[in-house]
Amino acid sequence: EVQLVESGGGSVQPGGSLRLSCAASGFTSSDYWMSWARQAPGKGLEWVANIKEDGSEKHYVDSVKGRFTISRDNAKNSVYLEMNSLRAEDTAMYYCAKSGTKNDYWGQGTLVTVSS
């Protein structure tokens, strides 16, 4: 059974940092692009970043460029999102997803709250 489990969310002050993790099981994550998306409270979905199978290519939505870094450790079947210089508008549920010809599996999310 395919599972994606996010962790690392929490409350942080503006300007702070967090590192989100996504542990994949039930499939070989190194065979797939992986993505992070987010959803602010009461708002729609926003794709945040994705990373190629071997980590050689990464892409980000403009609003997080220079602040967030996506990475992966295929030996651990894990994907990460390092978030720096956090802002109030980064407050959201963060989801990781298995990507490719279809984004078919999503985790249940980890909540990030940025507030003073």
Partner 1 sequence: DIQMTQSPSTLSASVGDTVIITCRASQSVRTWLAWYQQKPGKAPKLLIYKASTLESGVPSRFSGSGSGTEFTLTISGLQADDFATYYCQQYDNYSLFTFGPGTTVDIK
Q: Which residues bind partner 1 (CB under 8 A)?
A: 33, 35, 37, 44-47, 50, 52, 57, 59, 61-62, 95, 99, 101-104, 106-109
Note the Cα 104 to chain centre separation in Å: 15
Q: Is residue 113 within a helix (H) or strand (E), and if so which, with residue range?
A: strand 110-114
Distance CA 74, CA 87 (A): 30
- Burial level of 69, CB count in 10 A (0-12/13-18/19+)? middle
The CB-of-29 to partner 1 minimum distance in angstroms stands at 16
Closest to partner 1 by CB, 44 vs 116, is: 44
In angstroms, give the least distance from the CB of 59 to partner 1: 5
| Shortest reach from residue 16's CB to partner 1, in Å | 26
